Amino acid sequence: MCGIIGYSGREQAAPILLDGLERMEYRGYDSAGVAIRSETKGLQVKKSKGRLKVLSDMIHGGADLEGTLGIGHTRWATHGEPSDVNAHPHVSESGNIALVHNGIIENYMEIKEHLIKLGVKFTSDTDSEVVAQLLEFHYRECHNMLEAVGRVLRRIEGSYAFGIICSDYPDALIAARKDSPLILGYGKGCNFIASDVTAVIKYTREVAYMDDGEIAMVTPEGIDVFDSELVPVEKAHRTVDWDVSAAEKGGYPHFMLKEIMEQPDAIRRTVSPRIREGRVVLDDVKLTPEYVKNISRIFVIACGSSYHVGMVSKYNWEKLLRRPVEVVLASEFRYCDPLVDEHSLVVVISQSGETLDTMAAMREAKRRGGRTLAIVNVVGSSIAREADDVLYTWAGPEIAVATTKAYSTQLVLMDLVGLYLGDLLGTVSAEGYAAIVEGIQRLPEQMSASLKDTEDIKYFASRYFNHDSIFFIGRNLDYAMGMEGSLKLKEISYIHSEAYASGELKHGTISLIEPGTLVVALGSYMPLFDKAMSNVVEVKARGAEVMALTAASRREKMAKTADSVIAVPDTLAMLQPSLGVVPLQLFAYYVALQRGCDIDKPRNLAKSVTVE
Ligand code: M6R
């Protein structure tokens, strides 16, 4: 959720913080703020409700705030409505300590009541201000910020990444983390903290990932890291292998469109190193053939679009592995007493690798003896580090809140893993294996071909953007793909939309179809094409307007019934969602564009959901 950044160096801090916040604004965008320390003015805090631009204009791009040490924040509200006072940084009563926070302090009420009894006055409704006040309380006792932070961390419960500055410390900022991401950036004569590498990549590619319970003291000369007992810790440095251009729009009007267009390359990056001489090679996983043979059940745990990848994979993996695959929403998993044991393989899918529900579900699965395999995009993220095995999707930084290239790379990576496991289990024939490998290798080129001409989709978007409710229907893989198409549309265009298994319509939902209702009929899963056609006829008979999606070989047949048809290249049935999802992403994009929506930052959402 929120994005935090901190800078300690020799340049003016405010413009650097604003630049970093702009790159992280996708993490939350209902208010923003910075705190800067200067020799002459002490701590200066500026914050405002609304987008970062409001703050930036207010402080003239940072020019108004002098000082070379500072922290910044862009917020996605949890405790307290989006407002000027609830915006971060929060300042202790004396004005000596400023703090930015990402996460939730669960026992904040009890601490707040205690501090109120001691006479502390609060100005906001947030849990974060409670930490700033508690910190001051302890600092007054021990006169040492590191020690005071250590005491606070022992008292609070919940999740956090903190950036803290204190007027008594002219060039040091303090950071701490638990269950919320925080990286350390090592520059030349300056050092950083940030929620995400994208915020600091312009200044340095050398980073380290903070671990739970660690505290860092950041100065222009270096970064000292300590464990929760304040014992020094050595951190391994990593070099980020992409540069700033990967996190910029590169001439596209929106990140989402850029990321849609990047999909063929992203898939190539995911696949190429993992296929050698026609065989799937997963060097990074340590699953032994003995372990795989004893798998009795597979769980896929994820949220949102990653969950939809799981839905597609369920159909494919059950065919490839002949093992039961259960796809569970991460937010439900923990609370359903899941039947996980040591023969359960638990696949955890997450673009960000920080989704709290997914992480909590993964921990629960491990606790019950399951073996976890994470499919993650963000290198060094919490889920990647905690899973027994991790496979990266290598999609590159994804900035738009609506995921596209991360979804596509997750999907294809799941196909590779399914094939790999099926081979170990002996449940995939030699010809089947070779055909799937060949099909996967052709996907980037087929996807590029369909991305070359988007005119039809733009036209359909201009024809249908005024609908206020849209149904996506399909069977089997088309149904799973429809879930993603529907989520994309509602997420960025705010049109109400539902994905339905076509066969289920007649059990109730068909009553919602009336003359003019737009139905997106998915008929790209060839084994059930005729049934898909029958469902088109069924909704047409009730007056629906039908936009259908099918494979090129069936375009003409589909056009006899549907009002408009989008065709994608033919591939193997199990790979068709990889091609079919692209026009659905583009349809959502162009509909949202027609409706004047804020495509990259849809209302109420954030890219990385680090609260439960
Ligand atoms: O980072 P994750 O893959 O764990 O995120 C899960 C969902 O929050 C995410 O897929 C969300 O549904 C997207 N905004 C959809 O476009």
User: What span, in angstroms and rounded, lies between the C-alpha atoms of 427 and 446?
Assistant: 28
409 CB near ligand 1 (under 6 Å): no
Q: Catalytic site residues?
A: 2, 607
CA of 303 relative to ligand 1 center, distance in Å: 6
Only one residue has tokens 């993220």, namely 381
User: What span, in angstroms and rounded, lies between the C-alpha atoms of 391 and 374?
Assistant: 6
pLDDT at 244 over 90: no
Name the DSSP class of 252: -
The full set of domain ranges for the chain reads 3-241, 249-451, 455-594
Closest CA to 333 of 322, 348, 350: 348
Instruction: Using the atom order of ligand 1, give the atom closest to the CA of residue 491.
Output: 16
485 CB near ligand 1 (under 6 Å): no
Classify domain 3-241 by CATH number: 3.60.20.10
410 CB near ligand 1 (under 6 Å): no
pLDDT value of residue 604: 87
Task: Identify the three-state secondary structure at position 74.
Answer: strand
Please, what is the end-to-end C-alpha distance for the chain in angstroms? 11
Average pLDDT over residues 430-456: 96
Q: Render pLDDT for 362-407 as a digit per residue (tens, 0 to 9).
A: 999 999 999 999 999 999 899 999 999 999 999 999 999 999 999 9
CA of 400 relative to ligand 1 center, distance in Å: 11
Q: Which residues, 6 or more positions from 590, have their beta carbon under 8 angstroms from its beta carbon?
A: 454, 457, 458, 460, 461, 462, 465
CA of 596 relative to ligand 1 center, distance in Å: 23
**Structure pTM?**
0.87
Confidence label for 436 from pLDDT (cuts 50, 70 and 90): very high
Only one residue has tokens 């989008």, namely 566
Classify domain 249-451 by CATH number: 3.40.50.10490
358 CB near ligand 1 (under 6 Å): yes
Instruction: Tell me, yes or no, if the two domains 3-241 and 249-451 fold the same way.
Output: no
Give one word for 213, left, alpha or beta, with left for phi > 0 and alpha for psi -120 to 50: left
21 CB near ligand 1 (under 6 Å): no
Classify domain 455-594 by CATH number: 3.40.50.10490
Task: Identify the three-state secondary structure at position 216.
Answer: strand
User: What span, in angstroms and rounded, lies between the C-alpha atoms of 97 and 87?
Assistant: 15
Instruction: Using the atom order of ligand 1, give the atom closest to the CA of residue 607.
Output: 14
Instruction: Using the atom order of ligand 1, give the atom closest to the CA of residue 358.
Output: 4
Instruction: Using the atom order of ligand 1, give the atom closest to the CA of residue 305.
Output: 10
Average pLDDT over residues 475-496: 98
Residue with the smallest CA separation from ligand 1 atom 9 is 304
Only one residue has tokens 């009795």, namely 296
* 358, 350 Cβ separation under 8 angstroms: yes
Q: Render pLDDT for 285-310 as a digit per residue (tens, 0 to 9).
A: 999 999 999 999 999 999 999 999 99
Residue with the smallest CA separation from ligand 1 atom 8 is 304
Half-sphere exposure of 302 (CA within 13 A, CB side): 29
pLDDT value of residue 588: 98
Which CB contacts under 8 angstroms, 24+ apart, belong to 431-439? 434/278, 435/572, 436/572, 436/574, 436/575, 437/275, 437/278, 437/279, 437/280, 439/571, 439/572, 439/575
Structure-token pair, residue 550:
């099918």
Residue type, 236: A
Q: Where are the alpha helices (DSSP H) in 235-355?
A: 255-261, 263-271, 289-293, 304-321, 330-333
SS3 per residue for 339-407: CCCCCEEEEEEECCCCCHHHHHHHHHHHHCCCEEEEEECCCCCHHHHHCCEEEECCCCCCCCCCCCHHH
44 CB near ligand 1 (under 6 Å): no
Q: Render pLDDT for 117-126 as a digit per residue (tens, 0 to 9).
A: 999 999 999 9
